[in-house]
Chain A
């Protein structure tokens, strides 16, 4: 019998019910010092396991867990309340500033209309004086024009210059400008790519939102484990899931490569980058 076969037998005897030791195993253990040592270690290990008593939870464990969960829930509720208060405050501020801007803008517009002989170059682009009679004016250029007339210059507001409202409006406008370009695709490949981007964006957002739900379940900190074998150069594997993950690495790696290959090489699925 070889050491490898002995190891397999030892592993099986540790995994399954205790069985009588075959004669060839006994012979090998008598001959091989290393395997005999392993067998003795396994016997000691099993004896040690039998001596172990089941852990008994300490008094008041359930109360402590319930208290901790309630405390966490309270903290989360307080955070949510603070967020709502901030959102309401921000919305009120925005509404107030918007109203002010529109009222002020309309007053300025009326003044401009009443002033005769104003050179055309001094007219504010987008303001009501620029509108063609009969056309339905868009509110956005009007509001933008009013903002310009009000002394607001896009891109000029800075976070620290004291005018936080102007900065917030500026940042908002910039954000509108930075929305993904939804230009119509010109080819089917572009269309498929666009669809892919949209779907992946949606999935990312859904996953981000889903993470807030996951926060409820806080992962347990794994107990620190000592080295499996003293002096071993590679880090020990902590549990069975690690060993399965390590074993499945060729499969998961290949799965990723297969998807890449499919997206890259199959005509119409993407670019040939």
Chain B
């Protein structure tokens, strides 16, 4: 009897552990699934992931409990948030907590492709979202469209098609945007060009990781909540354009800057949580292409150090840099 009880407890614990591990990997998978849809030549990409899990962790922390009891809990912003919550319930039949957990909780990606030099108005934006519940997502989008049609912010909804894949064009008085829902994934583009590229990638079976996926693999300690990826290659043309139109000291400085810039493959700034809060800045560069002075600096900085281990346990904040 005792053996059976122990076996049951062990199985329950194992199931719990597996469920937790599966939930964590599912969230990471959701982010990766969205990242592979982002075209390689975007300039910026903002990623928010595991919002649900991070929220649970932060809300249960002693700091959050202390804040709830402090005068900060009575600031007008929070009252406004309560009003917004009521409106949200009225308009979409769900409260903000459900919206946060079921719609925004897994992963959100916003990618931006700048326009060519001198044609900045040709910029393109792409919003990708992975919801926990496909039905909730679809209902929310439909209700949102209904509301905008009634208010006149939206003139009509039209059907679009690209390589046999159907999508929706939202015609507004000042232009249009396009979107498609595929299961739990929402794709929204400010222009058809970038949207179609994402739609095409969705149908492809890509195995190799994109530059963006590689850049976000190792950005520093902690579990990332929000990250911004800057792709230097997207700005090369404008930098060259600026160099050609500058002269004198400015041109010399810009030329020198470009030598460093071209050796950089990506920059990631991320906010990560663990038992601590981390702000990580990661710069991925090809050291062999850097000027000699920078190579020397990096060589010195990449020596092993035990500095993080020497930080006091009760330090309020700490800042260090390392090269690898």
Contact = CB atoms under 8 A, between A and B. Distances in A.
Interface of A: 8, 11-12, 15-17, 182, 184-188, 191-192, 194-195, 198-199, 202, 227-229, 232-237, 242-244, 246-247, 249-251, 253-255, 257-258, 261-262, 265-268, 272
Given A15-B292, A16-B292, A247-B254, A257 B249 contact: no
Given A191-B83, A235-B249, A266-B125, 11 more contacts: A187-B87, A187-B147, A195-B80, A195-B84, A233-B248, A246-B257, A250-B235, A258-B44, A258-B123, A266-B127, A272-B172
Contact of A12 (B88, B148, B254, B292): B292
Given A16-B293, A243-B253, A266-B125, A254 B190 contact: no
Contacts, number: 146
A16 B296 contact: yes
B188 interface: yes
Given A12-B291, A16-B293, A198 B77 contact: yes
B144 interface: yes
A243 B112 contact: no
Interface stretch (B2-10, B201-209, B239-247): B239-247
Interface residues of B, number: 56
A195 B254 CA distance: 41
Contacts of B190: 261, 265
Nearest to B228: A255
Where chain A touches its partner, the secondary structure class is helix
Nearest to B296: A16
29 contacts: A8-B259, A11-B256, A16-B291, A16-B293, A16-B296, A184-B83, A185-B83, A191-B80, A195-B80, A195-B84, A198-B76, A198-B80, A199-B77, A228-B249, A233-B247, A233-B248, A234-B247, A234-B248, A235-B250, A242-B253, A243-B256, A246-B254, A247-B254, A254-B123, A257-B114, A258-B44, A262-B112, A267-B144, A272-B153
Contacts of A184: 83
A182 B112 contact: no
Nearest to B243: A247
B305 interface: no
Interface in B235-294: 235, 238-239, 242, 246-254, 256-259, 261, 291-293
